[in-house]
Structure 1
């Protein structure tokens, strides 16, 4: 189990505790933890989780290792944004973020903030990333947003991407890279620029993917990258932005990203495992529909997930069969245990190689995440998958990760091995859509 409310457990009651014991055998890389109840993680209930291992390739290539969390934010509490988003009789677009932060920090121009909010940036400051001059550093980027995909880069520095979602990569160089919600990338940068000692790290929300690209007052958030003469950590006693000299560096002269999509086709895993032949294929049609009470909900095929907080799905499939009316349905979709209108549960018996083909009939991209497994990205692109190509999809050099972006009106074909017994959620990581649509 993994803490998904309504799937593997009941919510942890207020004032109570719950201990998770996690086996990390054979794993290393960059991960994160967060609440999976309602919209709690939007309001800040998240954090990084890094697994170190002497077996990880390239550990001798960098001197220091830092986590950089990118996230959007809203002036209002997430529950209020959710009520507006799910209001009946309206085909509402996802709430557009009011801004963004790096490691929980940013500064706002209070003159641009709605007067109904209290704004005082007197003592606020930007995040600072201290790098020892003359050596290489690993930056672990984690997008913990509710909705925004980011384009990130460091002025005057090339980033060597070496990891994606816990999978080690053959180093590839970028000046800027896209990172969608729940994705993680590690990049090595060298603190050897003669241009300056302080530089901007820029993270820009790709607002072209929002329903109203002009609604965001300032889509870019910055952090200060500062060279030091010795290894040092960020200090809470650093001066406020009104007292210090800010970087004057300029961004890389590239066209800005206007499409929300992954780098997957350009990334090569260090351990290039040939994906096995599939045993089973499931097809999922992802879209939004206006159903009962004129409420807009997300769907896989004809199913829109409605979690049961007092009877998690895992409990219902582990109850002895004689306690259920009849034997559990042996079909792929467990109709005898679950109402498929409220929860699509796909059953796989034993260790199998499973393909999921998802067509996105929505006008927005979706970062899809599978719990409990990593998967090979066999194919992805714009438009809809041509079934005649299925038998000839290449199996070599496929990237293994746990979160993949399906473009607007696009598709993705993923493959994984069911070698981790349990019940695992497959859902969109955008926090608003994942509430009315969790597969």
Structure 2
């Protein structure tokens, strides 16, 4: 991986946040508990928000403040991260990255995240970011709507009924899965794939598939979220075309496809027109994540759903179950074909720093979470240079208000790593699936795959602070495939003034017995 440092261009226009007069505070409570859950027909104990998987949908409008009280009783500590909420520096202590911007909170305690949403328009996946706890069920969608959406003329319906989720699911706990992985270096293969929280495993009960209802001659904006801890999903809908209009919360030039592959943590919006005869149609959500021979429960074709036209019977489609159109294939979505609506930047490079990447390492360093969070070191200890952090923290320090280019050379192991940047998104100058370098109108998103094709990203340090940059396969980043991007440490100290509730998190966490951490 290489970092290139450049002067910013057009940053004010790109990052302007417009306050809306009608903004309100949206209050939600997430009661985090250990409880039974059986999305694929197998009952296990999971870590759940309000006792459900997926967790409750959190919605707000652009310009609102999202205020989430996390409360409850669970065996382990936790912290909540809102992937895709690009909060400002002065609120970075609510960003939720454990041991980067905060300490976790323990059982029978609570913490309130207050997130001003500015002019964001996005869909994202929350919640847990601690170790691989996410795999135990503490995940759910967050949708932020734009009442003045410039794409509104492309669709008729966009509400909670059009939120689609795919996720991998394990019958064993994440702690046993992580122990197995660390001993064997083989990531556990999930027992099933889920669509909208329902699926089946090989030989298991015929759990009802989740159905999505549509009315003929109506256009729907579907918001598709991959909430997987590991797996990619290839999604298609029999007999229907999908018009992609957004990636990871950022509008794109509409492009028609018949199949979308999304990696862990990625999100897309697509428009579907209900223009087929009244019937039930398969929603194909085909899981890809490891060697199926490692888990006989996994049948990748069983994590599917049903598109049900109004007037169709309450039944499964009568057509055969297939994997849908091929990807790669002539109708498949290629990230390299996505375009921003307008040109974004024109940069001049100044210097560079080489970073070699190997599997589970960045710059030959495996990331190990520090005992004292990065933000605490910056605010309390005056940490300002890379030498002020442990080598294993893998913290890269840059000046504020610069544009950084990150180059991932081709990975000879042919692993796909969906890399995610917290607090910011990036321009995908070169996608892994193409040799084309696009510096005119590349898309902006916050998760993009690194693999054997090589990838080039650019992002800005116009929001000072430490931001986690890691592989979104939770087992990979738990084993070291992570880093911290720190922009403007001096500016961070000037802008960040946490409340006493945040100040008390680390002492309270440190006082917990190890079994509760």
Q: 2:318 aligns with which of 238, 242, 248?
A: 248
Q: 2:447 aligns with which of 390, 403, 411?
A: 403
| Contact 1:281 1:356 (8 Å CA) reproduced | no
For residues 65-76 of structure 1, the aligned pairs below 5 Å read 65=158, 66-76=162-172
Is the partner of 2:404 in helix, strand or coil? strand
Deviations 1:148-189 (A, max 9, x none): 111100001000001100111111111111111100011111
How far, CA to CA, are the matches of 1:427 and 1:153 in structure 2?
28
Deviations 1:248-273 (A, max 9, x none): 23558743559xx9822111122332
User: Normalized per residue, which structure has more helix?
Assistant: 2
| Contact 1:165 1:402 (8 Å CA) reproduced | yes
* Corresponding position of 1:236: none
How far, CA to CA, are the matches of 2:350 and 2:222 in structure 1?
39
Is the partner of 1:346 in helix, strand or coil? strand
* Corresponding position of 2:361: 299
Over 3 Å counting, the alpha-carbon distance change for 1:214 and 1:125 in structure 2 is: same
- Provide the TM-score with structure 1 as the length reference: 0.80
For residues 18-37 of structure 1, the aligned pairs below 5 Å read 18-37=111-130
| Contact 1:262 1:404 (8 Å CA) reproduced | no
Is the partner of 1:347 in helix, strand or coil? strand
Over 3 Å counting, the alpha-carbon distance change for 1:279 and 1:27 in structure 2 is: farther
Most deviating of 263-272 and 425-434: 263-272
How far, CA to CA, are the matches of 2:108 and 2:351 in structure 1?
44
Over 3 Å counting, the alpha-carbon distance change for 1:247 and 1:159 in structure 2 is: same
Is the partner of 2:475 in helix, strand or coil? helix
Is the partner of 1:21 in helix, strand or coil? strand
Could you tell me which runs of 5 or more consecutive residues in structure 2 were left unpaired when the two chains were aligned.
1-91, 484-517
Deviations 1:87-139 (A, max 9, x none): 1xx4x222111110011111344xx3xxxxxx6x36x3111101122100111
How far, CA to CA, are the matches of 1:276 and 1:26 in structure 2?
25
* Corresponding position of 1:225: 307
- Provide the TM-score with structure 2 as the length reference: 0.69
What is the root-mean-square deviation in Å for CA atoms of aligned residues?
A: 2.6
| Contact 2:238 2:282 (8 Å CA) reproduced | yes
* Corresponding position of 1:197: 279
For residues 104-253 of structure 1, the aligned pairs below 5 Å read 104-109=197-202, 112=203, 121=205, 124-194=207-277, 196-206=278-288, 210-211=290-291, 215=295, 217-220=298-301, 221-228=303-310, 245-250=315-320
| Number of residue pairs matched by the alignment | 380
* Corresponding position of 2:49: none
* Corresponding position of 2:417: 366
C-alpha deviation, 1:57, in angstroms = 2.4
* Corresponding position of 1:277: 348
Could you tell me which runs of 5 or more consecutive residues in structure 1 were left unpaired when the two chains were aligned.
113-118, 231-238, 289-297
* Corresponding position of 2:407: 357
* Corresponding position of 2:506: none
List 4+ stretches of structure 1 deviating above 3 A. Answer: 211-217, 249-258, 275-284, 360-363, 380-383
| Contact 1:275 1:376 (8 Å CA) reproduced | no
| Contact 2:259 2:327 (8 Å CA) reproduced | no
